[in-house]
């Protein structure tokens, strides 16, 4: 590309950066006017300096990097929110999803499904500026695998399939949705997606807990499956390499498919040397297209708390999402959640002991347009700039982290 051809791009990017800086400044001023005490004069001064630098150098077509530690992109705070006659102490991190440098990512404990790790450690390992605990997991199970419960999508790959709740999903362009999305896994052998070559699985990277099981174990699980029974099909580079029973090592370039109990009959559709493929589709069997075809990160938890700016939670709506436990339906507990504001910001929130109905009202009071619950209790945790705002009481299975790329 010649220099002349590059100038329009440089000018366009320069204009976008000026617009972004103006938006940041306007947001900070509006938040200050609304009484949000986390914006000070130094922050406003920094935004003005960034704007002046962009304006000063833009005329020559120079690409000027926005300051790497802009205070308007990710901020933290703590405040008391009154619901009825009761006040709830909340900690939060606010991330500007309109900032092109801001990225969200799902992180796994010990970098594998079923592992656990300190939240602060996960944030540091990911190089994140902020982190919040993620979906529910089997914290009280003995053994090496403390499996998550909800759906987990990392870098476009389904690393765990859940069957309940609401899924928080985001694209590489920071388009976000919170929906009760459901998925299923379908497979083919030798290119046949119908009988006699088709097959299915219920789970991805989940330890068998019933006699009848069909699941896929990918490298996101680690080296071992944790499946001690049934027929295991070892797939390397899309081809069946071996068929055995029980535990098998997961190849770095493939997966292990395990069938147990009444599902063992599906193993007959595989033979050494056969080509194997699978895909995760919507629950109605349709391919993931549109938004769900672009999702890069996803985290399933719930229940849904706020929709369209109004409290949407009720015991009935939670049951419809598949929740039956008293800790969700009626009990008071420490809470964590995610919300989107009308400005397009993401709020990662932790709240002192509250019922789910109270937590929904807290989220609405924080100007949430959409909001959902995450794992809570001893799992509730929030990190900002290498320090705990809310410290969880145990190691965690997974987290959602906020990253800021330097240009």
- Is the predicted pLDDT of residue 11 greater than 90, yes or no? no
Of 92, 172, 167, which is closest to residue 372 (Cα–Cα)?
A: 167
Q: Name the token pair of 391.
A: 């410290």
Pair (61, 164) in one structural domain: no
Cβ proximity of 261 and 211 under 8 Å: yes
Cβ proximity of 72 and 24 under 8 Å: yes
Q: Measured between alpha carbons, how far is 25 from 20 in angstroms, rounded to an integer? A: 9
Pair (84, 63) in one structural domain: no
Peptide bond into 58 cis (omega under 30): no
* 286 within a domain of the structure (yes/no): no
pLDDT in the model for residue 65: 29
Domain edge (last residue) among 37, 71, 105: 71
Pair (264, 200) in one structural domain: yes
* 368 within a domain of the structure (yes/no): yes
The CA-atom distances, in angstroms, between 138 and each of 6, 148, 266, 319, 359 are: 53, 6, 28, 20, 23
Pair (298, 176) in one structural domain: yes
pLDDT in the model for residue 20: 52
Q: Measured between alpha carbons, how far is 365 from 348 in angstroms, rounded to an integer? A: 14
Radius of gyration of the chain (CA): 23
Cβ proximity of 226 and 145 under 8 Å: yes
Q: Tokens 């240009």 sit at which residue?
A: 407
Residue 280 confidence class, pLDDT cut points 50, 70, 90: very high
Pair (122, 261) in one structural domain: no
* 169 within a domain of the structure (yes/no): yes
pLDDT digits (tens, 9 = 90+) for 171-220: 999 999 999 999 999 999 999 999 999 999 999 999 998 889 999 999 99
Pair (172, 321) in one structural domain: yes
pLDDT in the model for residue 347: 98
- Is the predicted pLDDT of residue 55 greater than 70, yes or no? no
199 burial type by CB count under 10 A (0-12 exposed, 13-18 middle, 19+ buried): buried
Domain edge (last residue) among 281, 304, 326: 281
pLDDT in the model for residue 231: 98
pLDDT in the model for residue 79: 96
316 burial type by CB count under 10 A (0-12 exposed, 13-18 middle, 19+ buried): exposed
Residue 28 confidence class, pLDDT cut points 50, 70, 90: low
Of 15-19, 101-105, 128-132, the range with the lowest mean pLDDT is 15-19
Pair (309, 269) in one structural domain: no
Number of compact structural domains in the chain: 3
Average pLDDT, the chain: 87
- Is the predicted pLDDT of residue 50 greater than 90, yes or no? no
Q: Measured between alpha carbons, how far is 290 from 181 in angstroms, rounded to an integer? A: 14
Q: Name the token pair of 324.
A: 């039956």
* 238 within a domain of the structure (yes/no): yes
The dihedrals phi and psi of 353, each to the nearest 5 degrees, come to: -45, 125
Q: Structural domain of residue 232, as residue ranges?
A: 184-281
Q: Measured between alpha carbons, how far is 179 from 158 in angstroms, rounded to an integer? A: 16
Residue 44 confidence class, pLDDT cut points 50, 70, 90: very low
* 287 within a domain of the structure (yes/no): no
* 155 within a domain of the structure (yes/no): yes
* 333 within a domain of the structure (yes/no): yes
Give me the DSSP letters along 292-334.
HHHEEEEEEE--EEEETTEE---HHHHHHTT---HHHHT--EE
Pair (57, 112) in one structural domain: no
* 217 within a domain of the structure (yes/no): yes
Domain edge (last residue) among 247, 281, 315: 281
Pair (149, 268) in one structural domain: no
| Bridge partner residues of 372 (DSSP) | 304, 338
Of 371, 375, 304, 377, which is closest to residue 334 (Cα–Cα)?
A: 377
pLDDT digits (tens, 9 = 90+) for 314-356: 999 999 999 999 999 999 999 999 999 999 999 999 999 999 9
């Amino acid at each position: 590309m010649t220099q002349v051809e590059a100038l329009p791009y440089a000018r366009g990017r320069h204009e976008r950066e000026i617009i972004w800086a103006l938006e940041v400044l306007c947001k900070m001023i509006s938040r200050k006017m609304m009484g949000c005490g986390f914006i000070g004069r130094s922050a406003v001064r920094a935004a003005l300096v960034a704007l002046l630098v962009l304006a000063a150098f833009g005329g020559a077509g120079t690409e000027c990097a926005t300051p790497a530690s802009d205070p308007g992109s990710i901020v933290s705070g703590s405040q008391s929110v009154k619901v009825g006659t009761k006040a709830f102490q909340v900690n939060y991190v606010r991330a500007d999803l309109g900032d092109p440098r801001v990225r969200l990512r799902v992180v796994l404990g010990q970098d594998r499904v079923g592992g656990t790790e300190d939240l602060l450690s996960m944030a540091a390992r990911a190089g994140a500026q902020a982190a919040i605990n993620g979906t529910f997991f089997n914290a009280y199970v003995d053994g090496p695998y403390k499996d998550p419960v909800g759906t987990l999508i990392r870098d476009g790959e389904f690393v765990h399939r859940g069957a309940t709740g609401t899924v928080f999903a985001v694209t590489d362009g920071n388009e976000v949705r919170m929906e009760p999305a459901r998925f299923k896994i379908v497979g083919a052998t030798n290119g046949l997606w119908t009988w006699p070559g088709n097959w299915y699985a219920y789970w991805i990277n989940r330890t068998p807990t019933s006699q009848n099981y069909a699941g896929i174990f990918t490298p996101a699980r680690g080296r071992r499956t944790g499946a001690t029974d049934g027929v295991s099909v070892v797939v390397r580079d899309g081809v069946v390499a071996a068929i055995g029973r029980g535990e098998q090592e997961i190849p770095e370039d493939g997966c292990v498919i395990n069938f147990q109990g009444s599902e063992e009959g599906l193993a007959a559709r595989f033979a050494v040397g056969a080509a194997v493929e699978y895909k995760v589709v919507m629950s109605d069997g349709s391919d993931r297209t549109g938004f769900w075809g672009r999702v890069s990160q996803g985290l399933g938890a719930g229940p849904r708390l706020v929709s369209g700016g109004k409290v949407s939670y009720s015991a009935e709506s939670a049951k419809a999402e598949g929740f039956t436990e008293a800790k969700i339906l009626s009990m008071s507990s420490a809470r964590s959640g995610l919300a989107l504001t009308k400005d397009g910001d993401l709020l990662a929130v932790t709240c002192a002991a509250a019922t789910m109905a109270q937590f929904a009202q807290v989220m609405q009071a924080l100007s949430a347009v959409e909001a959902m619950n995450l794992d809570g209790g001893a799992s509730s945790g929030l990190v900002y700039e290498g320090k705990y705002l809310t410290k969880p009481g145990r190691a965690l299975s997974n987290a959602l982290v906020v990253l800021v790329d330097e240009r």
